[in-house]
Structure formats: structure tokens, C-alpha cells
Amino acid sequence: MAEIIKIEGGHKLNGKVRIGGAKNATVALIPAAILATNSEVNIYGVPDISDVESLSILLQELNVSVTSPTPEHFQINTSQMKNVDLDHEAVTKLRASYYFMGALLGKYKYVRMQMPGGCYLGPRPFDLHLKGFEALGANIDYTQGYYTISAEKLEGAKIYLDFASVGATINIMLAATLAEGKTVIENAAKEPEIIDVANFLNKMGAKIRGAGTNVITIEGVETLDGKAHEIIPDRIEAGTYIIMAAAMAEDVTIENIIPLHLDALLSKLIEMGVNVEVGMDYARIRSSESLKGIDVTTQTYPGLATDLQQPLTTLLTQATGTSSVRETIYAERFKHCTELQRMGANINVIPSQANITGPTPLFGAKVEATDLRCGASLVVAGLIAEGVTEISEVYHIDRGYDDIDNKLRSLGAKIWREEK
């Protein structure tokens, strides 16, 4: 039996919603914790998402104990850890399982695991991770779906990334932390989640400088000790709720955000005519008279996040005039447009770009969440649409949004689940 989400649209949203810990930081922080030698790591603000369940399973495979004294608190103990081949199905469910490559290579100089999975969004530069490991002195063998990465020793190197990849930046950082000598990552990604992981590693005894800039320097150390860390708020979850509020709010406050991380989105929403008030750690959205079409181009941070492009596309169906959305990160990230067309959206997709003409009334339909952020865009559409929207493949949504049903119900949305 598969679950579906149903949303009865047209209900105005009111109230407050609190944003949880950042998914894209969490999926790297948990593998980073295994770099600690024979010690306990406490991570706070862990979101209740299925990706975290998959990571917990992989920790248990490595004989690392995981307990949760409270739902958002993870205690990770590495004292009985063993380096085993990672071939559990959890690897194939979760693209970020590749962070275990960098962590295990750094700690043991050997890792063998299956090809990581996750949402398909077109080619992703996974070869950059491997080139980084090779630059540090590792040998890589790919046979029958398994990567075997090994090194007699890891030595610091200068590594230039052809593309400012978040995953490659973090993975090389994990491997280089326990390497000998100095590693320099040039054209590094600058996302806030990278700073969060670097801060965590530095607390444990790493020597990382420059996180958040395009040049990161890592002086290798011999060991790391477990420490406590609180995850930054999720800027993509925050942005998604801000977009939902822009579409349907009478008066909604999104709490526990870092506004700086959302600058690109907030400036675009203000350009559209959304009624936004930004405080130190919140954004308040009140109903807007009318929205106007804008042009959007996704960029690496601090530009507009590709992960917010899909929910934003839904909002643009309600704006007057023609809007264009150009995708520079993942060229194939437009599967949500086909689903939005089923609901009445006027969208024309050409390579790497969607042109949206609005405003168009949306109506409830049966649609499919083809990936995580497509799912988010369909939830936004369901809130707007007349009638009931039925979303299938909702496990994608649960990979990245903690308790989305209850959070939306608390704001006045009519949303529920059924078995199908």
C-alpha cells in the first residue's frame, strides 16, 4: 500500500510555523561524526526526515551506536565502530550516503560501498568527488556497482573543482581532515551548510579555514574528538514555507530562519509584490493585492537556490504577465512543470528554461512527486488549487520535509494522507 497526500485548496493560511534543522547540513554532519575517535558526538536540531533514517541504518551497519534522547537530539558513539562494506539498500535510497566515502577514506584509508542513489535530476558531478580523492592519493576501482577507494596514506593537495559542487567540497573536506599536510580546495562551493560542517569539524579538532569562500584550506590533524553541535535552520524548508505563505497567507510568520541565507529568494518575492516583513530570525508574510511576473535564474549560493526553483515556479503561475525560470545547476529540473500543467498551469518548457504565463486558476488533479522539490511545488499548487489535489510518490516529500502535514494543518491548510 502506497501513501498519497490529499490537499483541499483555497484555504487561507494564518499563524506561525517553526523551521527545523537543515537537511543538506544534517546528511553531511552525521557521516562527519564518524571521524571522531572512540567518542560520543551529540547533534541537536536533527530533522525527522526519511533521509536521516537511512543514515541511521548506515551508522548501525558500521557498528556505530545511535540513540535519540529526544526527537531532535542524536547521540552517536564511535567506540565500537568497524569499517565494513556498505551495501545496504539505504545506500541506494540516499545520494548523500556518498559522504561516508570521504569520512571512511579519511579515517581508515579504505572504503567499499555501492553506488549512491537519490533523486534523479540529470547528471551530477560525482566524478569531482573521485578526482578529489585521487588528488589526495587514493586509488579508485568501480566494479559491478561497487566503489573501492583505498590509499596507503592520504597527503594534502591543491584541488581545483571544475564546478562549485557542495557535495564534492564537503566530501573532500571530510577526507582531507585526517590527511597528512595541507589541502587547498579552489572554486569551493560557499553554501551555509558547508560552513556548518566545517564549524563542526573544527570543534572536534580539525583545522579548516575559508569555509564560505571559494578557497578552503585544511591542515591535516591526527585525530578528532566528539563534540556537541546544533544544526543551522533549513533555508530550503524556510524558503518553501515562505513561498506557500506568499501564495495563500492572510498572516503567516516563519520562525527560526537565518534571513541572510534567504536573501536571493526574499528579494525576488519583493520584486513580485509579496508583502514581506523580515526580522532577525523570522519572516512575516501578509496577503498581497496582486503579484507580477519576474525572471529568475538559479545560481550557486548566494544566488537563488535550485532547490527553491520548483516551488517558486508554482507561485509564478499566480503572477500577472510572463515569467521565466532559467536553471543553471540541474538542466533537467523541470519535471514538476508537466505535473503543474495537469492542474491548469500555462508553462512552456524549453531546454534549461520554463516560461510561465499567468495568472492562471489551478484546479485539483492527480499528480506525482517525481522528486523531493517537485513534491514541494505540488504541495504549493494543492494549497492554491480549486478542489482536491492528490499527490502520489510522497516518500520523496518525506525525504526533506519534517512533519509537513501537521505544520500546514496548524496554519489552516486542509491536508491529509490516505493509503492507496
Active-site residues, by number, are 119
Whether 38 has a binding-site annotation, put simply, is no
Using an 8 Å Cβ cutoff, are 75 and 69 in contact?
yes
> How far apart, in whole angstroms, are the C-alpha atoms of residue 208 and residue 392?
43
CA distance 21 to 229: 11
Tell me the C-alpha distance between 50 and 46, whole Å.
Answer: 11
Rounded Cα distance between 290 and 25, Å, is 36
Is 190 annotated as ligand-binding?
Answer: no
Residues paired with 324 in a beta bridge: 295, 355
Residue 171 assigned as binding residue: no
Measure the CA–CA gap between 213 and 190, rounded to whole angstroms: 5
Asked if residue 257 belongs to a known ligand binding site, the reply is no
Q: Are 136 and 155 a contacting pair, CB within 8 Å?
A: yes
Determine if the peptide bond prior to 302 is cis (ω within 30°).
yes
CA–CA separation, 370 and 288 (whole Å): 30
* Grid cell at residue 266: 526574499
Q: What is the CA radius of gyration of the chain?
A: 21
Q: What is the DSSP letter of 94?
A: -
Separation between Cα atoms, residue 307 and residue 166, nearest integer Å: 13
Q: Nearest Cα to 104, choosing from 43, 62, 140, 142? A: 62
- The strands making up 182-186's β-sheet, listed across from edge to edge, are 158-160, 182-186, 215-219, 207-209
Q: Please tell me whether 23 is known to bind a ligand.
A: yes
Specify binding-site residues: 23-24, 95, 307, 329
Specify binding-site residues for UDP-N-acetyl-alpha-D-glucosamine: 95, 307, 329
Specify binding-site residues for phosphoenolpyruvate: 23-24
